[in-house]
């Protein structure tokens, strides 16, 4: 019996979570975790039945790689490669756009020259979040995450000009 795209997505999420729990318990390095994500992506892409599903797999892994690079304080060369891949593929949803923008602003102490770009990405995410209906609980959640990122950012928004 063929599984639906939604069923495969849920299965992928569980599989990724289990793999990462094992890697965390083993105190795996950044590179080991990165390779594990890329191996999952490669296998899932082979199993995907549509181009839309393949694109969603690529986006999800790309977003995970940005989070991983952030959590390991990777230098700009590595972080930017992950970030550019997400930007090229597009964000899976607004929540992940907000998440990535917040990580970018919060990591600026590692690469302060990128402050303008990071703050612009965060401001774009904030504009998009503000467009959600006021009754939408995600609106407030996104705006709180953005406010937190602004508060803890160690590199301020550059002045215009």
User: What is the maximal distance between C-alpha atoms in the chain?
Assistant: 60
CA dist., res. 64 & res. 41, Å (int): 11
pLDDT tens digits, one per residue of 11-35 = 888 999 899 899 999 999 999 999 9
> Phi/psi zone of residue 73: left (φ > 0), alpha (ψ -120 to 50 degrees), beta?
left
pTM above 0.85, yes or no: yes
Angle at which helix 115-130 crosses helix 137-152, to 10 degrees, equals 160
Confidence of residue 2 (pLDDT cuts 50, 70, 90): low
């Amino acid at each position: 019996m063929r599984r639906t795209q939604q069923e495969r997505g849920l299965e992928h999420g569980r599989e990724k979570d289990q793999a990462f729990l094992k890697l965390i318990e083993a105190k795996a390095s950044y590179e080991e975790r990165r390779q594990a994500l890329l191996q999952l992506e490669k296998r899932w892409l082979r199993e995907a039945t549509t181009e839309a599903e393949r694109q969603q797999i690529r986006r999800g892994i790309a977003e995970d790689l940005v989070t991983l690079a952030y959590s390991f304080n990777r230098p700009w060369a590595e972080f930017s490669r992950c970030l550019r891949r997400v930007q090229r593929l597009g964000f899976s949803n607004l929540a992940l756009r907000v998440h990535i923008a917040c990580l970018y602003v919060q990591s600026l102490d590692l690469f302060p020259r990128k402050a303008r770009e990071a703050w612009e990405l965060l401001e774009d995410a904030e504009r998009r979040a503000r467009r959600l209906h006021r009754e939408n609980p995600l609106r407030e959640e996104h705006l709180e995450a953005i406010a937190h990122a602004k508060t803890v950012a160690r590199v301020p928004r550059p002045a215009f000009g």
